[in-house]
Amino acid sequence: MTQQEFFTYKGFPLVRKDNVIYYGNMSDKYVAMLTILSTHKVKDLEIADKTRVQLMSTDPNVSATEIIVKTSERGSLYEALDVAGIWLAKNN
């Protein structure tokens, strides 16, 4: 069985399901969850204009109320990925 490859950004894998993007390695202490809250249309393309960033613990022993460690909102997906990348680099 071969390991599945994911798209990466600044060395961290990205996995998208609908409007939620998981950013980081599940084997690390933390991953980021980016939720696209709103979009606008540019020609035929939907562009994120409000994204919530949450730093989440991957420890299965952490209670559900303590999984989210940090939260922020950004105006673009690029800004959200930038914040998430900084958080992952500092906390993993």
Q: What pLDDT score does 4 carry?
A: 63
Q: What is the DSSP string of 37-87?
A: EEEEEETTEEEEEEEEEEEEE--TTS-GGGSEEEEEEESSHHHHHHHHHHH
Q: What is the pLDDT of residue 74?
A: 94
| H-helix or E-strand spanning residue 91 | helix 77-91
Pairing mode of beta strands 20-23, 12-17: antiparallel
> If the chain, 92 residues long, is cut into consecutive pieces of 10 residues, what is the mean pLDDT of each piece?
70 91 93 94 91 95 91 93 94 89
pLDDT for res 3: 57
Torsion region of 24: left, alpha or beta (phi above 0 gives left; psi -120 to 50 gives alpha):
left
pLDDT of residue 64: 86
